[in-house]
Structure 1
Amino acid sequence: MYLLFSILCSTLIFVIFKSLSKYNINTLQVIAINYFVACFIGLTAFQGNITVENTLQSDWFLGAVFLGFLFISIFFVMAMTAQKNGVSVASVASKMSVVIPIVFGIYVYNEGTGLQKIIGITLALIAVYLTSVKSASEINFKKNLLLPVILFLGSGTIDTSIKYIETTYVPDNGIPLFSASIFGIAAILGLLTLTIKKEFKITTKAIIGGFLLGIVNYGSIYFLLKALDHELFESSTLFTVNHVGIVMLSTLVGLFIFKEHLTKKNWIGIVLAIIAIILVTLA
């Protein structure tokens, strides 16, 4: 259930971002507000006494600072990649990064690598690529190669770090506060960015968008952390199912809600995604 909720929340993030451009809402303002909302939800959900001193002295705090910086930095890299290389390149680079936490889980945590699981992961990577590529876009990774590489490495580092810090330093009841700290750091950096760009005139639409995005953004991380904390799945299995599930559901939402056109490659990708999820989960 935690994994399903994480996939659903991550897909809703896609829906909200898609709606921002439709209603001409300032994306940067929405992102900054969303981090403050997500931070507040985490602080409210934490059952225990919260003090600045205890938070700063927590074993996971430096990790939260690192992740908060990565969260907002990689988003800007994703935006730049989409602008300079195309949306498909940004989508493929960010989603294919799932290979990094998968390899990390196999080598660091000695997770299983049976034939069925390897086939499932391979199909998952192919499915991510086929589902992300749109017919009207040209995939050109050689153009501005640095941006897709940074996006790939950054996205993979985020997932890998979340898993490592959660299992190594975060106590069972500390996930809400840990999540809140990540979003709090990202919120501060977002506020600094708004200040530098002098975008102080925040609209009502941006506040509403930021509020909604903050709820689902917090949910996507919180439920992912709860799923990682569960002993049912290995992290390599969980990240595979999570990423493929998000890509597949987002594509279907684009089809039925935003009336996006799907190519034969996209449909083949969806079918392969379903097969990959079944193989990896049962493995």
Structure 2
Amino acid sequence: MHTLIFSISFSVAVSIFLKLARSRDIRVDQAIAVNYATATALCLWLLSPPLDTLFDQSPEVWMILGLLGVLLPSVFLIMAAAVRRAGIVRSDTAQRLSLILPLLAAFLVFHEAASGRKLLGIALALCALACLLARPRTAGDGAAPAGEAATRPDDETRGASRGWLTLLGVWAGYGCIDILFKQMARIGAGFTGRLLLSFILAGLLMGLWLAFRRTRWHGRSLAAGMLLGGLNFGNIYFYIRAHQTFPENPTLVFAAMNIGVISIGTLVGAGVFRERLSTLNMAGIGLALGAIVLLFPR
């Protein structure tokens, strides 16, 4: 259980970092690039993967690594675009609703046995998600900044279309990453080498993207990226470990991670950032705890 707790804690820390980044003049794309370089260094230092057999991977593993190499950095960029075009609330909702994809994969792809207890736990998890995501709609949610010129109907239509496409990308991207990490955990021995390769591929792709844009590097963002790399490394490492600890119960890991992160994130938002919690949000935290208890193996 400690692997899940550590992974949830690191994931919440990553969310707090990203929340504070914009107000601290941190350029998120540069921090993301350095994050993967830092995660690569930590993987080499702490896990000591066998470098002599690093590239001796099966075609299935290379397919997984290739997809992760593309998705890990891309989903950060898609999320940033979704926030700009569809608003923070809708983007966060799309990310959390991605839980549906790995839950379906647990039964359809990983052939987890369905029981009444698990199905009830999943139902509670989805109800908890709905309660935790419930927020009063504000006047500025998803709207253009004050003082901006009104857009023409055609521009609004195209903007709305792009906004929904980015939300779909967030939903599918985060869900697919969860499934791919589960598949990586299932393959067995040598996962430290595969973890290292996923960081290297993601870092290379992000670096090439920044080079293509002729990015002017920003010292504070580079330093912040080192912190983000440490947090992200801990999140992914313990997430894979959690799947290895509960190999026959992927729904527990999928649900506990998503519901745990948003529950603790909700409490942190209320305690640290003075975000208002409704009675429905508090009920969602209670439902989340009940869901995890039901999904936890006896």
> What's the TM-score, normalizing by structure 1?
0.89
Match of 1:92 in 2: 93
Residue identity matched to 1:55: L
In structure 1, C-alpha distance between the alignment counterparts of 2:131 and 2:85, rounded to whole Å: 21
Which structure 2 residues correspond to residues 183-194 of structure 1 after superposition, within 5 A?
183-194=199-210
Change (3 A) 1:175 1:49: closer
Is 1:63 matched with 2:79? no
- Tell me by how many angstroms 1:24 deviates: 1.6
- Tell me by how many angstroms 1:264 deviates: 3.2
In structure 1, C-alpha distance between the alignment counterparts of 2:286 and 2:25, rounded to whole Å: 34
Question: Contact 1:77 / 1:150 at 8 angstroms: preserved in 2?
Answer: yes
Tell me whether 270-279 or 65-74 shows the greater mean CA deviation: 270-279
Residue identity matched to 2:110: Y
Deviations 1:102-135 (A, max 9, x none): 2212133332322222122122122223313432
Secondary structure (helix, strand or coil) at the match of 2:124 reads helix
Q: 2:212 aligns with which of 196, 209, 216?
A: 196
In structure 1, C-alpha distance between the alignment counterparts of 2:164 and 2:26, rounded to whole Å: 30
Question: Contact 1:179 / 1:218 at 8 angstroms: preserved in 2?
Answer: no
Which structure 2 residues correspond to residues 76-155 of structure 1 after superposition, within 5 A?
76-137=77-138, 144-155=163-174
Match of 1:176 in 2: 192
Match of 2:289 in 1: 274
Is there any run of 5+ residues in structure 1 with no aligned partner, and where? none
Deviations 1:243-271 (A, max 9, x none): 10011011111111122222333223222
In structure 1, C-alpha distance between the alignment counterparts of 2:211 and 2:109, rounded to whole Å: 41
Q: CA RMSD in A?
A: 2.2
Question: Contact 1:64 / 1:182 at 8 angstroms: preserved in 2?
Answer: yes
Secondary structure (helix, strand or coil) at the match of 1:165 reads helix
In structure 2, C-alpha distance between the alignment counterparts of 1:76 and 1:176, rounded to whole Å: 26
Is 1:4 matched with 2:5? yes
Secondary structure (helix, strand or coil) at the match of 1:56 reads coil
Identity over the aligned pairs, expressed in percent? 26
In structure 2, C-alpha distance between the alignment counterparts of 1:20 and 1:48, rounded to whole Å: 32
Tell me whether 205-214 or 217-226 shows the greater mean CA deviation: 205-214
Is 1:224 matched with 2:239? yes
Question: Contact 1:88 / 1:133 at 8 angstroms: preserved in 2?
Answer: no
Question: Contact 2:49 / 2:193 at 8 angstroms: preserved in 1?
Answer: no
Question: Contact 2:35 / 2:227 at 8 angstroms: preserved in 1?
Answer: yes
Question: Contact 1:127 / 1:273 at 8 angstroms: preserved in 2?
Answer: yes
Match of 1:206 in 2: 221
Question: Contact 2:43 / 2:49 at 8 angstroms: preserved in 1?
Answer: no
Is there any run of 5+ residues in structure 2 with no aligned partner, and where? 144-159
Question: Contact 2:184 / 2:191 at 8 angstroms: preserved in 1?
Answer: no
Secondary structure (helix, strand or coil) at the match of 1:200 reads coil
Question: Contact 1:131 / 1:269 at 8 angstroms: preserved in 2?
Answer: yes
In structure 2, C-alpha distance between the alignment counterparts of 1:49 and 1:278, rounded to whole Å: 38
In structure 1, C-alpha distance between the alignment counterparts of 2:217 and 2:78, rounded to whole Å: 24
- Tell me by how many angstroms 1:187 deviates: 0.9
Choose 1 or 2 for highest CA Rg.
2
In structure 2, C-alpha distance between the alignment counterparts of 1:72 and 1:251, rounded to whole Å: 25
Question: Contact 2:65 / 2:198 at 8 angstroms: preserved in 1?
Answer: yes
Residue identity matched to 2:170: L
Secondary structure (helix, strand or coil) at the match of 2:76 reads helix
Secondary structure (helix, strand or coil) at the match of 1:113 reads coil
In structure 2, C-alpha distance between the alignment counterparts of 1:242 and 1:229, rounded to whole Å: 14
Residue identity matched to 2:293: I
Residue identity matched to 1:77: I
